[in-house]
Structure 1
Amino acid sequence: MSSLFKTVGDVACEPAQAASVATTGTIGARLDRLPPSRTIWTFVVLISLGGFFEFYELFSTAYLAPGIVRSGILTETTRGFFGMTGIASFIAAAFAGLLVGTLLFSAIADRFGRRSVFTFALLWYTASAAVMAFQTTAWGLNFWRFMVGIGLGVELVTIDSYLSELVPRQMRGRAFALNQVITYLSVPTIALLAWQLVPLAPLGLDGWRWVVLAGSIAAILVWGIRTRIPESPRWLASHGEQGRADAVLTALEQRVERETGRPLPKPEPSVGEVIEHGRLSEIFSRRYLSRTVMLSTFHVFQTIGLYGFSNWVPTFLVHQGIEVTASLAYTMGITLVMPCGPLLALLYADRFERKWQIVTSSVVVAVAGLLFAATRNPALIVLTGGLVTLGATTLSYNFHAYQSELYPTRIRARAVGFVYSWSRLSGVFSGFLVSWALSRAGVSGALLLIAASMAMVAISIGLLGPRTNGRSLESLTQ
């Protein structure tokens, strides 16, 4: 691995004498001709490690909540709808930070590059999480979780942009599937750590604080091993740095040829992008408006559906008459399914059209969610809950790939940040909304809300979504 970084990573930071004149079109065509190789998959893994911490943070709520409540910082419920001393405010703070990170700060990834921004964003998360772990008031805890969310929001948008630009078109689906396998491994990780630490107070420090610190420490380790990842060749070319783009890509091509033992095929002719600093207003132009409306609508409703279920599973089970201990055991069983959706997708992700995978997954979540509300049988609870989770995680890897394919490199991070920010805004209110539905109509009402949200997801993508499988990024955005 060290030789890989020496070969490819070093040229990311140095001016290079181009062996040939590189354009955005030729850079894209050269990337798309690369076969799957150890080098490409290594980069996918290293880039994806940053996404681990977003889900580590978001899914931690259900597991940290009992410890935070027991320490007297937050309460389970509040009298007011927007009470800032309840667990719902802890959920809202994370989504509010993610909203700010994805909407307001995503532009820096288009301006300063993918590599530097996701490196800085991970350090931001590390510092904010460490400070959050030592807060003793509701306002302090929520403020620093908000700061954590900002760092993770920038990180995630940059990861999606970089992955779509780096991997060849014939393996984009599988690359994002692997990305989500790594991301979802955070959920059983947080569940296991919380199970072991939250009931305790090692060295006199509340167990939930140790769980938060564990994420911060792990992020430092990931930051260390990602510092040698090169800049995106497509981003370099789109900013007029063809020499550096050619140098990075030439080193990558040579490495892939050595690994595969055969020469690379000739690149196919490709249309290049305009070399300029794009404007966010482009996403509202005639070319991209329908995509922007489609993805914004999608994100509003997918968040209610996906997080509305995952964050409330233990509560739903308790309301159905299941004992707390048993509900946590069932939740653990359902949680273990999370990495399985994208893991299975490694077998078929690039064989079936992405938009129809999203539609099918949405229907599975809606139907299985309604069946979950109707059963009390332990085996059926785990089965239907597992199907919801399988559908949700399959949907997740698809939309991360899909949204990053639909905009040009010059505005990709900002465009993804804008449409994805709707999910963060929706997430701010989703906890309050599900809580309201649960109090008014019980578990059936809450899950009906979730099913209706997933129906809107299927409709928006099914009617407005373009086909993307096997197409170059340049052809999709011209």
Structure 2
Amino acid sequence: MTMMEGASQLGAGGRTATPADTAARAGTAIGEISARLDRLPATPAIWKLIVLLSLGFFFELYDLLYTGYVAPGLVKSGILTPTTSGLFGTSGVASFIAALFAGLFLGTIACGFLADRFGRRSIFTWSLLWYVAANTVMAFQDTANGLNLWRFISGMGIGVELVTIGTYISELTPKRLRGRAFAICQTIGFSAVPVVAFLSYLLVPKAPFGLAGWRWVVLLGGVAALFIWYFRRNLPESPRWLAGQGRTDEASQVLAQLEEKVARQYGKPLPQPEAPDPVPRKAGFADMWKGPYRQRTIMLIIFHIFQTVGFYGFANWVPTLLVKQGITVTHSLLYTTVIGLAAPLGPLIGFWIADKFERKHVIVWMAALNIVAGLLFSQVSSVLAIVFLGVALTLAGNIISFTYHTYQQELYPTAIRARAVGFVYSWSRLSAVFSSFVIAFTLKGFGVTGVFVFIAGAMMLVMLAIGLMGPKTLGQSLESISH
């Protein structure tokens, strides 16, 4: 009989259980659940869960990143303009990008608590349906204001989904696999980049069946995403979340079913769980600003404000930057399709390095590569150099992406993981709202070189924040990191 099963309504000596006794038993139950999860070997049953969640991430990134690829089509159709007459004009590509990130900001900062309140599985499902519906409406807009409004609404759903998927994976994955699990998730997710780039190359310059090509790119992503809604039935709720809600019997039952599948595939008795790590007391939102979490919160806010400039400054603007350099829309989309083929390679490389090198060190070195490659990209004009440096920027950005998605999920306890990550992550969305206007303004006044000098300064601040303030997490349990 486990400690969890032996828990009763009485405290020591038969006395009535106090709130402290109840909290202690709940902590013991959570610790046991976590220890049982962390000892599971990497069998197909574990990887199946990771792949299912990763497919959801694929469509998240498809919807998140098609912005830059459909932008030339929106300009060609006369709905948007490539630059704006004023810093915060609402008729340019910058306003379309800003609308998305304003929605992402609201979705992550105001709705991140939903996954902590209602569970990872249900919010994963409903936020997907939310953004698919909003994107479908957006695909039929003919004005800049209508386009921006529905991009904002879809961004809210995408923001909730991104936080939920990261939290879900971190809690379902044994500690020795967390880095590789996020690497696989991002590899599958970033496969959306060449897909959306290629579809945009085929469709954006045309109007199949009389419907503008950019509308087809938007609609195809939503239709395909509905398949993930269908397959969600194979996803269990997070046992860690269930135990944290006091639903310990249900958590144990869900985990026992997973253990049975893993043991059958493993072919021998499962390893014995290690002694449970002490579980942090029940945490609330205010705990983000106390103890070890305060420095982590400040570090991640600084990181997210500036990493967004580097990642989306290139990903969302590269077709427009190339057009600004005199390259035609068709050739710009062709080059970005080739560059986009490298997108899944960054996290795929990460599969071999994720659980071997400290997360913070990987982020710092890739930020340095981003600075060098970006400044060189702004000075070249040959096709070979554009593609080579574009690939380097893509690899650096995507390795940073899968690494910080792992890293930030490790820095907070289960009780507040989704809302805390949602809060710090939301600063990247707020940053993107304003940086998109700044990049458009910089592009107009200082050209492509000015844009990459701006990006380089932002990535330098990323290096300083993570390098000086980030704790080490490699190979540690979620509970031990939370102390």
TM-score, normalised to structure 1, is 0.93
**Does the 8 Å contact 2:303/2:461 carry over to 1?**
yes
* Structure-1 residue corresponding to 2:431: 426
- 1:234 equivalent to 2:240? Answer yes
The equivalent of 1:332 in structure 2 is 337
CA distance in 2, matches of 1:424, 1:306: 12
Match of 2:133 in 1: 127
Cα drift, residue 439 of structure 1: 2.3
- Corresponding residue for residue 354 of structure 1: 359
* Paired AA for residue 412 in structure 1: R
Distance (Å, rounded) in 1 between the aligned partners of 2:383 and 2:78: 33
Alpha-carbon distance in 1 for matches of 2:475, 2:188: 24
After superposition, the CA RMSD in angstroms is: 1.6
**Contact 1:358/1:398 (8 A) holds in 2:** yes
Residue equivalent to 1:305: 310
Partner of 2:388 in structure 1?
Answer: 383
The answer on whether the counterparts of 2:82 and 2:320 sit within 8 Å (CA) in structure 1 is no
Equivalent-residue separation in structure 2 for 1:80 and 1:42 (angstroms): 49
Q: Percent identity?
A: 54
Question: Deviation per CA, 1:103-133, whole angstroms, max 9, x where unpaired?
Answer: 0001011011101111110010111111111
The one-letter code sitting in structure 1 at the alignment partner of 2:381 is R
Q: Match for residue 12 of structure 1? A: none
Task: State how many pairs are aligned.
Answer: 460
Superposed displacement of residue 48, structure 1: 1.7
Please say if 1:363 is aligned against 2:382.
Answer: no
What letter matches 2:221 in structure 1?
A: G
Q: How does 1:258-273 map to 2 (within 5 A)?
A: 258-273=264-279
Name the residue aligned to 1:243. 249
- Given the alignment of the two structures, is residue 57 of structure 1 paired with residue 63 of structure 2, yes or no? yes
2:185 to 176, 179, 185: 179
Is 1:451 the counterpart of 2:456 in the alignment?
yes
SS of the residue corresponding to residue 63 of structure 2 reads helix
Question: Which amino acid is 2:207 matched to?
Answer: A
Q: SS where residue 378 of structure 2 aligns?
A: helix
How far residue 204 of structure 1 moved from its aligned partner, in angstroms, is 2.7
Task: Give how far 1:209 is off.
Answer: 1.4
Change (3 A) 1:158 1:424: same
**Structure 1 stretches of 5 or more lacking a match?**
1-17
Q: Which residue of 2 aligns with 1:39?
A: 45
- In structure 2, the gaps of 5 or more residues are 8-27
Q: Cα distance, 1:295 vs. partner? A: 0.5
Deviation at 1:279, TM superposition (A): 2.0
Q: Which residue of 2 aligns with 1:26?
A: 32
Shift of 1:462: 0.6
Q: Tell me if structure 2 keeps the 8 A contact 1:239–1:275.
A: no
Name the structure 2 match of 1:291. 296
> Paired residue for 2:106?
100
Name the CA distance, whole Å, in 2 between partners of 1:394 and 1:333.
18
3-state SS of paired residue (1:266): coil
Aligned mates of 1:40, 1:290 — CA distance in 2: 33
**Which residue does 2:284 correspond to in 1?**
279
User: CA separation of 1:275/1:120 partners in 2, compared to 1, >3 Å: closer, same or farther?
Assistant: farther
Q: Distance in 1 between matches of 2:396 and 2:335?
A: 18
Aligned AA (1:451):
A
**How big is each residue's C-alpha offset from its partner over 1:384-422, in whole Å with a ceiling of 9 and x where there is no partner?**
221111111000000000000000000000000000000
Change in CA separation of 1:312 and 1:274 when aligned onto 2, cut-off 3 Å: closer
| Letter of the structure 2 residue corresponding to residue 296 of structure 1 | I
1:441 paired to 2:440: no
